Amino acid sequence: MLRLSHALANLCASRKDASFVGGRFSRSALAVLALSSTFALAQTDGGTAAPVTAPTTTSSSSSESDLRKEFEARLEAARREVKELREEMRAQLATQSVAQGWQEDWVDEKRKLELVTFDGYLRIRPELFYKFDLGRGNDAAGYPLFPRSPSSLQDRTQAGVNMRFRFEPTINISEEVRVRAQIDALDNMVWGSTPDYAFSRNGINDYYYDRNEFSVFSASQTAPRSGVNSLQDSILFKRVWGEVGTPIGILRFGRMPSHWGLGMLWNDGNGIDNDWGDTVDRVSFTAEPLPGFYITPMIDFNLSGLISNRTQEGGQPFDLNTSDNVTSFILAVQRRDTEQERLAKLNNDSFVFNYGLHFTYRNQRFDAVDTLSKPFGATEGSASGQATSPAVFRKADIFIPDLWAKFERKEFRIEAEFAAVLGGIQNRALSAGAIDASQSLGVYQFGGVLQGEAKLLNGDLEIGGEIGFASGDKAYGFGNYPRRKGSGLNGATAEGDTDGPQYSCPNTCTDNEITNFRFNRDYRVDMILYREILGGVTDSIYFKPKAKYRITQGFEAFAALIYSRALFVESTPGYLYGGRGESLGIEINGGVRYETEDGFYGQLQYGILFPLEGFMKREGSIANGIPINGTEIQRENAQALRAIVGIRF
């Protein structure tokens, strides 16, 4: 205790920032000093109680009782002061921070200056898919709604386990300078996908490397190696960026995540159930001119075009031609509370109103169309070192405003995001020397999400809903995969196609507008239709009532019903077969989730999709692209079972 009192005295004497906790630190320290001094006086140097003379009179007994009561009162007061100090110090540390990105809050908790700190998670994700083709077979262009087993058409079930280890170290150079990174190991690797049997058969001398002639004898896994036994290496260094705090704001530079609002359009994919994530090469500066208001100008380098090491040049690689670059100029303005401020307002029966605008201007003059699809060093250079890769005069200008707002009280929350993608492409050619060099395309896309929820039973029950829409047009197919070749002339989409390009220019442009807005793939709406079968929300509107109930601390059950509808019936694959309804399906999702304070995360979900008229199909002969004398094929319900088991740190 003497050491504690001396340490606190030294701390109080050396503390320069008296406003650290508004003066309470000094008062609490004095209380602890008084408490420790009392203990010290009550003990001998050997740690045993000092002898006390037995009372001889009633007066001395009463005096001793009063002293004991006074001591206990002071002890309890000191304990309260220490507890309040600890809570206030935590709150103060949580608000002394710098702006951090667009996902949860703009102000990052300022850690104690440790050289290296770690964040991340380990997850495994067992999944089971049943009848995801809905019993339709292939569409008019020959594509299935969902990949089928290549060995048997009767095999309608797919099941397996995938995993990911995400490691996010932070190197703190000082209190104001740090380097952050994101590294994924065994990213979405399917269990059993890299057996030693497969790796050994890639050896140069099979008689030396092959220990197993039959795969059934394989008993070990090897590390994934790109181009050898996997499409990617076992370790992916995804993001690295630096942060520098200055007196007027925060400078960030490097390859970093990008997120805004609800994540409908820009989503960093940092959730434990996410798969994609937007990663940008960016320079940004965040300033706070007024308390709670943040202004961030940014420059993103989206595409560099032809670079020197594609022309077999040695040494430091560099960009050969800036005119084929794609660059985004971004300004984000936002009013947002920190998480600590938000909780304080809600606990005081006040409200939280946050909002912001994220505006992007993106342009490209030329497009080295045949560059990125070729391997490095493949005939793009000449003996003179001049690049020979052809380029297309693209002249594209895109404007992307994205508005976000949230109003929240302790009893309810309303949050919305609305975005548009507007602009034009003067030359749509996908290869140099194409005859369509003068054909231009317009881009007019709109999308939005509105969420709301009410909290009942002291917050244990949440009942809410969500409405989302993404613009589309009468072009056949949805447009999540515009590079897919349709069944029409020159790869254009036709009736009955599920996906493909959303403009039509076989010879002359009959449809020169791209109007289908696409949600970010990591914005989760459901388990089956948008997430797995269609590949995202586009050319659709959906309605999603949902509920969540907290059974006990860390354990909750949740459920949702999603009704999905195409905006245009021509976009549905059932249009070819006489389907005249835009309804795509009704999906029911439900599950349970368990989280602990020490980082364990467990979740189990079940979903079932009831496909509607938009997925109609008939069997029978087809004349001139129209089914005749065909009977309708019964649509089959798709089901999914997904679990997540993980540890966050």
Quote the CA–CA distance of 300 and 281 in Å, as a whole number: 6
Q: What letter would DSSP give residue 51?
A: P
pLDDT value at residue 100: 42
Strand, coil or helix: 509: coil
Strand, coil or helix: 322: helix
Determine contact, residues 406/392, Cβ cutoff 8 Å: no
Radius of gyration of the chain (CA): 32
Quote the CA–CA distance of 342 and 91 in Å, as a whole number: 12
Quote the CA–CA distance of 415 and 400 in Å, as a whole number: 20
Average pLDDT, the chain: 81
Where the chain has pLDDT below 50, the residues are: 1-59, 93-111, 202-208, 379-387, 623
Amino acid at 520: N
Quote the CA–CA distance of 611 and 145 in Å, as a whole number: 12
Supply 87's token pair.
């809570």
Determine contact, residues 397/418, Cβ cutoff 8 Å: no
Q: What letter would DSSP give residue 27?
A: H
pLDDT value at residue 433: 63
State the DSSP string of 424-478: EES---SSTT-TTTT--EEEEEEEEEEEEEEEETTTTEEEEEEEEEE---SSSS-
Give the helix/strand (H/E) hosting 296. Answer: strand 293-303
- What does CATH list as the number for 107-193+230-648? 2.40.160.100
Give the residue from 458, 466, 453 showing the smallest Cα distance to 550: 458
Quote the CA–CA distance of 572 and 614 in Å, as a whole number: 5
Quote the CA–CA distance of 111 and 98 in Å, as a whole number: 11
CA angle in degrees (0–180, nearest 5) for 66-67-70:
85
Quote the CA–CA distance of 539 and 471 in Å, as a whole number: 5
Q: Long-range CB contacts (< 8 A, 24+ apart) of 285-291?
A: 285/249, 285/250, 285/251, 285/252, 286/98, 286/99, 286/106, 286/249, 286/250, 286/252, 287/248, 287/249, 288/99, 288/249
Contacts of 397 (CB under 8 A, 6+ apart): 361, 362, 363, 423, 424
Amino acid at 59: S
Quote the CA–CA distance of 246 and 619 in Å, as a whole number: 68
Q: In a 10 Å sphere around its CB, with 0-12 CB exposed, 13-18 middle and 19+ buried, how is residue 616 labelled? A: buried
pLDDT value at residue 480: 94
Quote the CA–CA distance of 13 and 33 in Å, as a whole number: 13
Strand spans (E) along 485-529: 513-514
Please report where in the chains the tokens 């030329």 appear, as a residue: 366
Give the residue from 302, 447, 278 showing the smallest Cα distance to 362: 302
Q: Alpha helices, DSSP H only, in 515-640?
A: none
Supply 317's token pair.
């690689």
Supply 89's token pair.
């110090």
Quote the CA–CA distance of 281 and 253 in Å, as a whole number: 8
Give the residue from 233, 240, 269 showing the smallest Cα distance to 255: 240
Q: In a 10 Å sphere around its CB, with 0-12 CB exposed, 13-18 middle and 19+ buried, how is residue 89 labelled? A: middle
Quote the CA–CA distance of 397 and 401 in Å, as a whole number: 13
Strand spans (E) along 368-440: 392-408, 412-425
> φ, ψ for residue 344 (rounded to 5)?
-65, -40
Residue % of the chain over a pLDDT of 90? 53
> Which pTM does this prediction carry?
0.78
Contacts of 166 (CB under 8 A, 6+ apart): 120, 121, 122, 182, 183, 184
Quote the CA–CA distance of 244 and 25 in Å, as a whole number: 29
Determine contact, residues 138/148, Cβ cutoff 8 Å: no
Strand spans (E) along 173-247: 177-190, 235-246
pLDDT digits (tens, 9 = 90+) for 627-639: 555 688 888 999 9
Give the residue from 92, 84, 94, 74 showing the smallest Cα distance to 33: 74
Give the residue from 610, 609, 611, 612 showing the smallest Cα distance to 580: 612
Q: How is the chain split into domains, by residue range?
A: 2-95, 107-193+230-648
Quote the CA–CA distance of 386 and 382 in Å, as a whole number: 6
Quickly count helices (H) and strands (E) in the chain. 6, 25
pLDDT value at residue 424: 93
Give the residue from 293, 296, 292 showing the smallest Cα distance to 340: 292
Which residues make beta-bridge pairs with 352?
Answer: 408
Q: In a 10 Å sphere around its CB, with 0-12 CB exposed, 13-18 middle and 19+ buried, how is residue 545 labelled? A: middle
Query: What is the distance of C-alpha 411 from the center of its chain?
Result: 27
Strand, coil or helix: 80: helix
Contacts of 211 (CB under 8 A, 6+ apart): 196, 200
Contacts of 152 (CB under 8 A, 6+ apart): none
Please report where in the chains the tokens 């504690």 appear, as a residue: 4
Strand, coil or helix: 10: helix
Quote the CA–CA distance of 401 and 330 in Å, as a whole number: 10
